[in-house]
Amino acid sequence: MRLFLLTSLLFFLAACEKNGGSISLNNLEIYAPLPGNTVTSGYTKITNHTDVTISIDSITSPDFETVEIHETIIVNGIARMIEIEQLTIPANNDVVLKRGGKHFMFFDPTENINIGQNIKLDIKLSNNENLKFEVPAKSRF
């Protein structure tokens, strides 16, 4: 995950494609961190429109130091989060990121994030497509 600086540098060097046709994110929601908090989460439905399996190789945001994909699991009755190093989206299928399940986790905002302020998300796929998204930070209330 500390490859963040290197991967973001590579994004600038690579020819960036806006929103490739192979993968789409529907209803992407990213929440502004609560006051005094440095961690927040995001949800979406990721759809693979192709006949081949595609995985997310890296996910970064200029607005946060680190972005990870997590899954909430129950261990001995207690909810814990584990990191998914490489999220795979099966051919012609969806992966839903939602509360209590898989989700994006954002750590350490690079500057204070207000509700409504745009948050950028850069996703690098295993088929070498680079996807860029920008959504306004949502309120948790």
- Residue ranges binding Cu ion (CB under 5 A): 70, 81, 105
C-alpha span between 102 and 81 (Å, rounded): 9
CA atoms of 104 and 91, how far apart (whole Å): 21
Q: How far is the CB of 41 from Cu ion (least distance, A)?
A: 6
CB of 116 to Cu ion, least distance (A): 23
Q: Are 76 and 123 spatial neighbours (Cβ–Cβ below 8 Å)?
A: no
Please tell me whether residue 85 adopts helix, strand or coil conformation: coil
Q: How many CB atoms lie within 10 A of CB 98?
A: 12
Q: Least distance in Å: CB of 90 to Cu ion? A: 22
Least spacing, CB of residue 64 vs Cu ion, in Å: 13
Question: In the complex with Cu ion, which residue's Cβ is closer, 69 or 130?
Answer: 69
Shortest-Cβ-distance residue relative to Cu ion? 70
Based on CB atoms, which residue is closest to Cu ion, 11 or 107?
107
Nearer to Cu ion, 81 or 135 (CB): 81
Contact 32, 117 (CB under 8 A): yes
